[in-house]
Structures are given as C-alpha cells and as structure tokens.
C-alpha cells in the first residue's frame, strides 16, 4: 500500500480533449481557445525523445478545421473506435443501441466480449465493480474498468461530470498531480457531425488536449490526446479519448519534451437510471511512460477511486443546495457553465464553452 501511495502521485492526467463539453448551443467550436500555445511545424522531430503509442486503427485520413486557421485535426474512424469501446464497456453499448438504457443492473455476464478478471464486486459500495484485463491487446499494461452509481441532477450531467476531470480547481481537489491542463485545439463540431453516423449521438466537444504532471519522486510526464463527448437522446453520454499518433507530434506546445504517457483507449459512459440517479462506467488503458505494467493497474485504480469519491459528494451537492446546485440554478438548458477557474465563479450565458479556463476533457487517472 505504501508503494502504491508513493507512486500514485506520479500518475498522468490524460488529456482528453475536445476541450469543453459544449452546452446545447449550436456553437461552431467546442471550448475556449488557448492563446499561449502555438502550432509550430518547425519543431524538431521528437522521435528520439519519447515514443508515441497512438494506434493507427483508431484514426481515419479525414480532417476537420480547428479553431486555428493553420491547423486541421485528424478524425477518428468512428466505427472502429466505438466498436472497441462497446467491446470493453457494456454501458457504452447500451448508450449507442438502446432507446432506454437500464444501466449496471441490466448487465449480464454474457455481455462482455472479452474475458475480464473481477478484482472487486460489491453492489453496496460506491464503486460496485472493478475489473481488468492484463496486457490488453499486447500493449504491456492492463485495461481497467470501474463502475459506480451516483446521485445528482440530470441537468447537463455529462458536461458536469466532465468538469471533474477537466478543470484545474475541481480536479485538484482530488488529484494533486496535475501541473498543466490545457486545450490546445478545438474542432469544428459541424464538420465532425458530417463524418460520424447518427447512432454515435451528438458531438458536443471534439479536440486535442495537452496535460503535464508535476515533478515528484519521478520526472514529469506529458500527453497529447484526441477526445470528445457524445450526448444521446436517452440522456446517456460517452466521453472518449485516444492518444495521437506519432505523426501528430508537431501539435505539441513549444518547450522541452519529456517522458510521455499514453492513453491507448479511454471511455466514460453515463447512463441515467432515475430522476436524480445515474450509473457510470469508467474504462482506461494507460501506459505511464517508464513504469512497469504490473504497477500501472493498481495506480490507475487507486486514482480513479479518488475521482469517484469526490464525484459522489459533488453531485449530491446538486441536490442539497451545495456548490453544483448553485451553478446549475444560474443557467437555462441552452446556457453554458463556467467553472471554479472563472473570475466570478458563475455561468456566462453568452459564452460558447462550458469550461472557461485552461481546459480539456481529461481522463484521470
């Protein structure tokens, strides 16, 4: 336990992107745009500095314009990406293919495509089920899956959950490892919509995020991830992310490169189960650069547990007049939400981003 506690402070917050969950507005771009990060095609190759593990199978050759005129963002192959997400996440499959998904209680053993090792299963606990697959797809590290049932308001639930892992002040309440959380590029949502099938829901964010961890007992780590948020008519949401391929390294911000961690595959699926109740299934395969695979699983699980512990109280505060309730009371369904990082800690009805600070949709660990 001591070793896990020491090592857990090195975990990399995975940059998932799309910056900010967009509200219901038909805004052209998701998220607010960072001005201090610049695209620099002249940066030298980083092949010898750190490896990139983005799997080419998840990417297409199609691109969409970004919020910066000189930069286009590579799009995923939505069919391949969501096929794999559905194979590792029964709740994601519910979100995509069921008009009225029923959440964790309706999952059957035969629903799993792969063979998972269940390490904890107790429906009376906040985290009711933890499972893993070692050396998933021969990447040398496990893929882990955690399930939880939470209480909180339905209003902008997907966006509010994303804030827990995307905004600096909220994230730092449960994760002390983050140094930089920054959305570098946001994609044109109208163009993204044209490239995906309707069954994948409404894309409310799409883009590239950069994250760096603090110096601790090990050197900092960094990531560059393509991510998004899909919302569905049923009230379900899927947050997804994959590491960028090596040929996208020129999108890194300027500065000295460091060891890279890799999110091979990430998804968080939210399924409404009642007026103020919802289930969450969190799936992540993370390679922490330079760490042995057998240590990675316990570190990721312990960190995600902290996230759920904070989420439990945060969402309940939306029902009892607390922090989340105050924020939600200030907006209408078509308005957007500001976060703790904003000057007035309030909502800006004229802002097209849900997160109005350094941001990106991140996957913890």
- Reported pTM: 0.80
| Phi, psi angles (nearest 5°) of residue 60 | -105, 180
Q: Specify the range with the lowest mean pLDDT, choosing from 227-241, 244-258, 262-276.
A: 244-258
pLDDT tens column, 306-327:
999 999 999 999 999 999 998 8
Q: How far apart are CA 70 and CA 39, in angstroms?
A: 8
Question: Residue 190 pLDDT more than 80?
Answer: yes
Percent share of the chain, pLDDT over 70: 74
Residues linked to residue 65 through DSSP beta bridges, in sequence order: 72
Nearest CA to 318 among 337, 342, 302?
A: 337
- 133 touches 278 (CB < 8 A): no
Closest-CA residue to 262 (of 209, 208, 221): 221
Most confident listed range (161-165, 215-219, 258-262): 258-262
Q: Which residue has the higher pLDDT, 19 or 247?
A: 247
pLDDT of residue 212: 80
pLDDT value of position 146? 98
Contact 263, 239 (CB under 8 A): no
Length of the chain: 365
**Segment 293-299 mean pLDDT:** 88
Cα radius of gyration (the chain): 19
Q: What pLDDT shows up at residue 99? A: 95
Q: Is the pLDDT of residue 2 over 70?
A: no
Q: Which letter does DSSP use for residue 210 in this model?
A: E
Is the pLDDT reported for residue 21 higher than 70?
no
pLDDT tens figures, 52-70: 568 899 999 999 999 988 8
Mean pLDDT, range 261-273, rounded to an integer: 94
pLDDT at 177: 76
Which is higher by pLDDT, 167 or 242?
242
168 contacts 341 by C-beta, under 8 angstroms: yes
Strand arrangement of the beta sheet that strand 202-213 belongs to: 117-121, 127-133, 143-151, 277-287, 262-274, 237-243, 222-231, 202-213, 178-186
295, 289, 272, 271: which is closest to 281 by C-alpha?
271
| Tens-digit pLDDT profile for residues 109-122 | 889 999 999 999 99
Tell me: pLDDT of 342 over 80.
no
- The answer on pLDDT for 34 being more than 60 is no
Token pair of 40 as six digits? 């620099």
Q: Where are the alpha helices (DSSP H) in the chain?
A: 2-8, 78-88, 90-97, 157-164, 168-171, 189-195, 293-316, 323-329
For the residues 265-276, what does the mean pLDDT come to?
96
Top pLDDT among 18 and 80 is at 80
């Amino acid at each position: 336990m001591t070793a896990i506690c020491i090592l857990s402070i090195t975990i990399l917050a995975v940059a998932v992107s799309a910056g900010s969950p967009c509200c219901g507005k038909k805004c052209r771009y998701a998220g607010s745009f960072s001005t201090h990060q610049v695209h620099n095609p002249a940066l030298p190759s980083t092949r010898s500095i750190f490896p990139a593990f983005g799997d080419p199978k998840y990417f297409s050759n199609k691109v969409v314009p970004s919020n910066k005129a000189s930069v286009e963002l590579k799009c995923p192959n939505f069919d391949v990406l969501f096929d794999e997400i559905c194979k590792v996440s029964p709740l994601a499959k519910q979100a995509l293919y069921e008009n009225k998904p029923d959440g964790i209680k309706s999952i059957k053993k035969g629903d799993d495509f792969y063979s998972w090792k269940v390490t904890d299963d107790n429906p009376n606990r906040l985290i009711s089920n933890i499972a893993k697959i070692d050396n998933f797809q021969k990447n040398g590290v496990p893929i882990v899956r955690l399930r939880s049932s939470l209480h909180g308001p339905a209003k902008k639930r997907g966006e509010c959950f994303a804030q827990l892992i995307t905004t600096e002040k909220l994230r730092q309440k449960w994760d002390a490892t983050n140094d930089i959380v920054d959305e570098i590029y946001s994609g044109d949502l109208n163009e993204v919509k044209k490239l995906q099938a309707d069954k994948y829901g409404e894309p409310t964010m799409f883009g590239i995020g950069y994250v760096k961890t603090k110096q601790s007992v090990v050197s900092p780590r960094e990531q560059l991830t393509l991510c998004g948020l899909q919302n569905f008519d049923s009230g379900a949401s899927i947050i997804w992310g994959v590491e960028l391929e090596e040929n996208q390294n020129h999108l890194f911000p300027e500065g000295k490169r460091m060891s890279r961690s890799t999110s091979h595959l990430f998804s968080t699926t939210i399924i409404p189960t009642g007026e103020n109740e919802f289930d969450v299934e969190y799936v992540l395969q993370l390679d922490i650069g330079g760490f042995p695979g057998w240590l990675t699983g316990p570190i990721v699980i312990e960190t995600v547990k902290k996230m759920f512990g904070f989420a439990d109280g945060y969402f309940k505060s939306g029902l009892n007049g607390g922090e989340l309730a105050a924020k939600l009371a200030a907006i209408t369904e078509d308005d957007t939400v500001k976060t703790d990082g904003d000057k007035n800690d309030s909502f800006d009805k004229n802002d097209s981003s849900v997160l109005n600070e350094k941001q990106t949709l991140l996957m913890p660990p």
